Amino acid sequence: MNKSIKRILIGAGAFTAGAAAVAGLTYKVTKEMMKVALDREQPKANEKAQHRLSGSKGQEDTFEELAVLSEKLQNGDCALVEVTAQDGTVLAGHWHECANAKRVIIAMHGWRSSWTKDFGAISDFWHKNNCSVLYVEQRGQGQSGGDYMGFGLTERYDCLAWIKWVNEKGNSKLPIYLCGISMGASTVLMAAGLDLPPNVHGIMADCGYTSPHDIWKYIMENNLRLPYNGITSAIADDICKKKIQVTSKEYSCIDAMRVCKVPVLFVHGTDDHFVPVTMTYENYKACVAPKRLLIVPGAEHGMSYMVDRQGYEEAMTRFWNEFDGAIKPAHADAQK
C-alpha cells in the first residue's frame, strides 16, 4: 500500500475513533446532567456540587436564618392534604387556613428545594395579611408522588388540580394568586397559559426562567463550563421525552406570557447566578397582561425578600390592592 495512502487511512481511523469517543463522552455527561435535572434521586456524586450549579457565592448567615424560619413553618399550624393530578400522580400540600381570609395563595417551591425552605421567610407576612396559603410540594419532590421533576412543563397542569381543590374547599369567592420561586415561578408562569378559573386574579413569579432548554443551556455553559450545543440539546431532549413525555422546547414561559390573561408580578435579584435576571426581563416583555416588576439590587437567587423585605412586601401589597377585585382586561394596564 502506498505510504501516503496508509497514513491517510490511519489518520482517518484515528479521527473516527476520536469523534466516537467525544460523542460517547457527550452522551454520558448529558445523561448524568439529565439525571440531576429530572430524577427524584439525584446521583450521589452530584450532591456536593450544588454550589457549582447555582453559582452562589456563599451566604452562610442568610442560610442560617432561613433554616430557622424553615423549621418554624415546618412546625406551624398547617394541615397535610392531597390531590390527584390529571395523570394520576398523588400530590401533597400543606394548608394554612386564615379565619378571615381575603385571598388564597397557592405557593410552588423551586427545584430540589422545599415548601418550608422557600417560603419560611415570607410565611408570617402572608398570614398576617389575611392570606390562606396552600404550600404545594412539587411532583418528584418531598412527599408528592412522581419519579421525575418537569421544570414546569408537567407541573403547570398540577396548578389546575390545586386550584380545583381550593375552590371545592369553599374558597371560590376569594381571589387566588399562584405564587412561585425559581422553578416554581416558571411553573406558575406556564400555568398562566392554561384556561384558569375566573377567581385566579394573579401570578407572583420570583426569579423564574424562560424555559427548561434556556436554563439548562445557561447552567451548563456558565456555571459548569461545559458545552451545550445542538448535539447536547438533542440528547437532552431525547432523554427528557422518555422521562416526562415532553421536550424542553415544547413549551415555555414566553409562550404562556403571550396569551396570559391574568396580572403578573415579576420579581428578580440582579446578582442571581443561577437564573439570570435577563430571563425575567424576557418574560416581562412577552407578557400581554397587566404586569408589574420588582428588581432587587444585590440579591442572589431566591434572596430578593431577604435583601429588601420592605420593597418586596410593598410591591406585593400594591399588587393585591390593585387586583383583589375584578380582573381588568389584559390590555388595560400592561406596561410597555
Q: Is residue 276 part of a domain?
A: yes
Are 177 and 222 contained in the same domain?
no
User: Which among 201, 222, 246 is the end of a domain?
Assistant: 246
Q: Is residue 329 part of a domain?
A: no
Are 83 and 232 contained in the same domain?
no
Higher pLDDT, 60 or 28: 28
Higher pLDDT, 326 or 255: 255
Instruction: Please state, in angstroms and rounded to a whole number, the distance separating the CA atoms of residues 282 and 257.
Output: 10
Are 291 and 241 contained in the same domain?
no
Are 149 and 268 contained in the same domain?
yes
Whether residue 276 is predicted with pLDDT greater than 50 in this model: the reply is yes
Q: Is residue 165 part of a domain?
A: yes
3-state secondary structure 84-152: ECCCCCEEEEEEECCCCCCEEEEEECCCCCCHHHHHCCCHHHHHHCCEEEEEEECCCCCCCCCCECCCC
pLDDT at 19: 43
Q: What percent of the chain has pLDDT over 90?
A: 81
Give the Cβ contact number of residue 236 at 10 Å: 24
Are 206 and 217 contained in the same domain?
no
Are 187 and 238 contained in the same domain?
no
pLDDT at 46: 56
Domain span including residue 114:
59-211+251-323
How do residues 175-221 score in pLDDT, each as one tens digit?
999 999 999 999 999 999 999 999 999 999 999 999 999 999 999 99
Give first-to-last CA distance, the chain, whole Å.
Answer: 72
How do residues 136-188 score in pLDDT, each as one tens digit?
999 999 999 999 999 999 999 999 999 999 999 999 999 999 999 999 999 99
Q: Is residue 168 part of a domain?
A: yes
Are 151 and 74 contained in the same domain?
yes
Whether residue 12 is predicted with pLDDT greater than 50 in this model: the reply is no
Domain count, the chain: 2
Whether residue 313 is predicted with pLDDT greater than 70 in this model: the reply is yes
Q: Which three cell numbers stand for residue 281?
A: 426581563
Q: Walk across the sheet containing 200-206 and list its strands.
A: 79-84, 90-96, 131-137, 103-108, 176-181, 200-206, 264-269, 291-296
> DSSP per residue over 169-230, as a string?
IIITTS-EEEEEETHHHHHHHHHTTS---TTEEEEEEES--S-HHHHHHHIIIIIS-----H
Are 15 and 80 contained in the same domain?
no
Whether residue 6 is predicted with pLDDT greater than 80 in this model: the reply is no
Are 130 and 278 contained in the same domain?
yes
Q: Which residues have C-beta within 8 Å of that of residue 277, sequence separation ≥ 6?
A: 268, 269, 270, 295
Are 197 and 260 contained in the same domain?
yes
Q: Is residue 153 part of a domain?
A: yes
Q: Is residue 310 packed enough to be buried (19+ CB in 10 Å), middle (13-18) or exposed (0-12)? A: exposed
pLDDT at 49: 53
Are 195 and 230 contained in the same domain?
no
Are 199 and 296 contained in the same domain?
yes
Q: Is residue 48 part of a domain?
A: no
Q: Is residue 44 part of a domain?
A: no
Of 42-56, 178-192, 234-248, 281-295, the least confident: 42-56
Instruction: Please state, in angstroms and rounded to a whole number, the distance separating the CA atoms of residues 66 and 292.
Output: 27
